[in-house]
Structures are given as structure tokens and as C-alpha cells.
């Protein structure tokens, strides 16, 4: 699907202990993620997510943070867009498999900007 020499790092999250991470884990593995950080925590704005923080600390410039779906970054769109922009500043790419957003491509950057503008 995508051809990157950079390290792909996955982040999977479900909101409750009763939910299963298998679908996300399988998709991230199939996408080529070398490491996957997993969490069973609410994505509600302001909720502490230690595995997400660990994933962000693990990433280096030119790495790619991959999620199964954009909403895995959190419940607040403002928070999601800030996270993506923070990654951009650190030269870390972002990819959402479901929406096919990829910040390493012009089309992906445009789609992310349009998504942010529509919901702002």
C-alpha cells in the first residue's frame, strides 16, 4: 500500500476492558508496524493514556505513527488535530488506515487539512 523506509509505529486503543484489540492489531501488523502500543482506556479528552504517551516518546523524525482509525487519537477533534500538527513539527508522519490519511503525501496532508477545517 505505502512504500516507506521509515519505521512504522502503531497505536491501538479501545475504550473499555471488555473490548478487543484484535482487529486493530491485525490491521497495524498487516500495514507493517514494527512496534504497536496498545491501550484499553477511554479516548475522552483529558484522559491520561500512558501507552499513547509512550508511543509519542518512542517516535523519532521520519517515523510514521499509524492508527487503525483517526478517532483512536482521542474523542476531541481539536485534540486529534493538535496531535497530528505536533507530530508534523517533529517531522514525524501520521497515517490512518481506515480514512487513508497519510501526512507524508500531498493528498494526505490536504485531506487532513480539509477534515480539520470541516469540523472546526
Quote the pLDDT of residue 42.
72
103 Cα distance to chain centroid: 11
Quote the pLDDT of residue 1.
47
The torsion angles phi and psi of 83, rounded to 5 degrees, stand at -60, -45
pLDDT mean for each 10 residues of the chain (120 residues)? 71 89 96 95 75 95 94 79 87 91 75 61
Run of H or E including 11: strand 8-14
For this structure, is 15 an active site residue?
Answer: yes
Quote the pLDDT of residue 27.
97
Q: Are strands 101-102 and 93-96 parallel, antiparallel or unpaired?
A: antiparallel
Strand 35-40: give its sheet, edge to edge. 35-40, 8-14, 64-67, 93-96, 101-102
User: Catalytic pick from 15, 42, 96, 120?
Assistant: 15
Quote the pLDDT of residue 5.
56
Run of H or E including 103: none
CATH architecture of 8-119: 3-Layer(aba) Sandwich (3.40)
Q: Where are the domains of the chain?
A: 8-119
Amino acid at each position: 500500500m505505502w512504500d516507506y523506509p521509515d519505521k512504522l509505529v502503531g497505536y491501538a486503543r479501545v475504550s473499555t476492558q471488555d473490548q478487543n484489540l484484535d482487529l486493530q492489531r491485525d490491521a497495524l501488523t498487516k500495514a507493517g508496524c514494527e512496534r504497536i502500543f496498545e491501550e484499553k482506556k477511554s479516548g475522552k479528552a483529558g484522559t491520561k493514556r500512558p501507552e499513547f504517551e509512550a508511543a509519542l516518546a518512542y517516535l523519532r523524525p521520519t517515523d510514521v505513527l499509524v492508527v487503525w482509525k483517526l478517532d483512536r487519537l482521542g474523542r476531541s477533534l481539536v485534540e486529534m488535530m493538535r496531535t497530528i500538527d505536533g507530530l508534523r513539527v517533529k517531522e514525524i508522519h501520521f497515517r490512518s488506515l481506515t480514512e487513508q490519511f497519510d501526512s507524508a503525501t500531498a493528498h494526505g496532508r490536504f485531506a487532513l487539512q480539509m477534515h480539520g477545517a470541516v469540523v472546526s
